[in-house]
Structure 1
Amino acid sequence: MTNSKISNDPLFGSSAMIWDALAFKQRKRPSPLDAETSSVAGRISAARAHKQQGILDAAEKLIRRYGHAKTSIEDISRVIGTSRADIYRFFPTKEALDQRVFARHAHFILERARDAARCETDGSAPLLAAIISLVEQTASMIECEPHIQQLFATAFAKDWEAAHIYISQVLALIEAIISDGMKTGHFAVSDPAVAAQRVLTSVIVFIHPTLVTEAALKFPSLIPGPLTQIEPVLAYLSASGRK
């Protein structure tokens, strides 16, 4: 269950880092200085990564406590004992920093959903496990991490690239699970990508940070629960192509 389209994903690292790694691998005639240069570059890169990690840690801590709208670059710089200019070396805007904090949480949610799917092997169980994980984590975020939930709502409201990547990775996870189910003969669909879209559509109201609060939670008598919503889709996955 992997996705190769990660070169520009803030969930997986910067494209610049990936490009540098590829360029280094493609060197054909290493000189005697290459090892030393590589060592120095590695130390610099590690120092930058450590600094960036510290900024993100401080930003996340403040956002959890006060919310992203009330957390400023100056607040973050004060916490870690550096200048605003130093932070701007890593994140050109406050929104860019907020997106990376969002991406951290999105990555964590995705990893837990993947782990839940890996723990199941029977029939539609991996798919259900992944969906339940996504739904439960979204509900937990609303109840226990209101400022993080607001960050997610802002990401979708402002159409952040990181929000698009998050949904695309959720879709990719579902598609990968369906593809695995096709290999074992449990699912019989002609196009796992189309099937994944149907699954996501059936449960999006429970994992979208705005829809879940503005629709699913406000009108529980009108919107069936996620398991009820996905039942017809599971029937479609199992029956399609067998007629």
Structure 2
Amino acid sequence: MIVKVSNLRNAVAAGAGMSFLDTAYETNHEMDDALLDVAEKLFRHIGHQKTAIEDIAAEFGRSHASVCRFFPTRSSINHRVYARWALKELDLRDQDAGSITLALAMLANVLTRLNHRARARVVCHPNEHSLWMAAAREDWPVHHAYFQSLATGFAALVGRDADMQHLPDHALTKMAKGVVTAMLAYLHPVLVEQRMNSEKDADADLAAHIGFVLKALNLSCLAEAPTR
């Protein structure tokens, strides 16, 4: 089926209100964004573990106390930068989906690109990958929210397929959560790094796994079809 794709993040927001990720990143003062710009720059340059509030204050040209007015702890800065990066990733997911017209082909494209970007972070942006790893290992709420947002977007995408439009929302949600679970080894930063250390042909393995997931979606669709 050929479909027109609206922004998935907007579709999620329309259905469920502002997401936790949006709330985590929401800024009430232009100073928030300016400080986060500085924190993000330092995180990418020297890493989040080596960046202190004093470093951010010095780079920004303000006192430690003025930075603490907006971000009282290092953890609050870490979580806000992660939320910013995760929201950008969701925006890229929308772009990836919009580049193809077939619903399940869009899903395959999004899953492929998400994995490629996760792998690129490991190799090309290790300090950024380090923050994603910390969020996963320390079980941050914003990390959960990112994967929940992925599942919600996947449900909206799968629901546009002609063979699945008869399914109720709860069935699409269940299927989308299954996609996230099935793809976790290719999306979770810790597991992505582990796979990169053991795989011989990452792209072929990814393509085969995505093919399996798409086939499982079609089988699930038949199982959920109403009896007549």
Same fold (TM over 0.5): yes
Residue identity opposite 2:12 in structure 1: N
* Separation in 1, partners of 2:105, 2:41: 36
**Which of 30, 33, 36 is the matching residue for 1:53?**
33
* Separation in 2, partners of 1:54, 1:108: 17
For residue 65 of structure 1, give the secondary structure of its aligned residue in structure 2.
Answer: helix
- Tell me what 2:3 maps to: none
The two structures have a TM-score, normalised by structure 1, of 0.78
Residue identity opposite 1:220 in structure 2: E
1:166 maps to 2:166? no
Q: Deviation at 1:88?
A: 1.4
- Judging changes above 3 Å, is the alpha-carbon distance between structure 1 residues 241 and 63 closer, same or farther for their aligned structure 2 residues? closer
1:217 maps to 2:196? yes
Q: Deviation at 1:218?
A: 2.3
* Separation in 2, partners of 1:14, 1:220: 35
For residue 159 of structure 1, give the secondary structure of its aligned residue in structure 2.
Answer: coil
For residue 180 of structure 1, give the secondary structure of its aligned residue in structure 2.
Answer: coil
- Judging changes above 3 Å, is the alpha-carbon distance between structure 1 residues 8 and 175 closer, same or farther for their aligned structure 2 residues? closer
Relative contact order higher in (CA < 8 Å, ≥ 6 apart): 2
* Contact 2:147/2:180 (<8 A) preserved: no
- Tell me what 1:103 maps to: 83
Q: Deviation at 1:58?
A: 0.6
**Which of 58, 66, 75 is the matching residue for 1:78?**
58
- Tell me what 1:23 maps to: none
* Separation in 1, partners of 2:62, 2:17: 31
* Separation in 1, partners of 2:64, 2:156: 42
For residue 12 of structure 1, give the secondary structure of its aligned residue in structure 2.
Answer: helix
Residue identity opposite 1:167 in structure 2: F
* Contact 2:47/2:128 (<8 A) preserved: yes
* Separation in 2, partners of 1:171, 1:179: 12
- Tell me what 1:28 maps to: none
- Tell me what 1:3 maps to: 12
Q: CA RMSD in A?
A: 2.4
* Contact 1:7/1:14 (<8 A) preserved: no
- Tell me what 2:226 maps to: none
Q: What is the count of residue pairs matched by the alignment?
A: 209
1:151 maps to 2:131? yes
Share of identical aligned residues, percent? Answer: 27
- Tell me what 1:22 maps to: none
Residue identity opposite 1:12 in structure 2: D
* Separation in 2, partners of 1:167, 1:131: 13
- Tell me what 1:122 maps to: 102
* Separation in 2, partners of 1:3, 1:241: 22
- Judging changes above 3 Å, is the alpha-carbon distance between structure 1 residues 63 and 230 closer, same or farther for their aligned structure 2 residues? same
Residue identity opposite 1:217 in structure 2: M
* Contact 2:111/2:210 (<8 A) preserved: no
* Separation in 1, partners of 2:35, 2:205: 39
- Judging changes above 3 Å, is the alpha-carbon distance between structure 1 residues 148 and 15 closer, same or farther for their aligned structure 2 residues? closer
1:86-136 Cα deviation digits (max 9, x unpaired): 111111211110111111111111111111112211242111111112111
Q: Deviation at 1:63?
A: 0.7
The two structures have a TM-score, normalised by structure 2, of 0.82
Computing the radius of gyration from Cα coordinates, the structure with the larger value is 1
* Separation in 2, partners of 1:217, 1:16: 34
Whose helix fraction is larger, Structure 1's or Structure 2's? Answer: 2
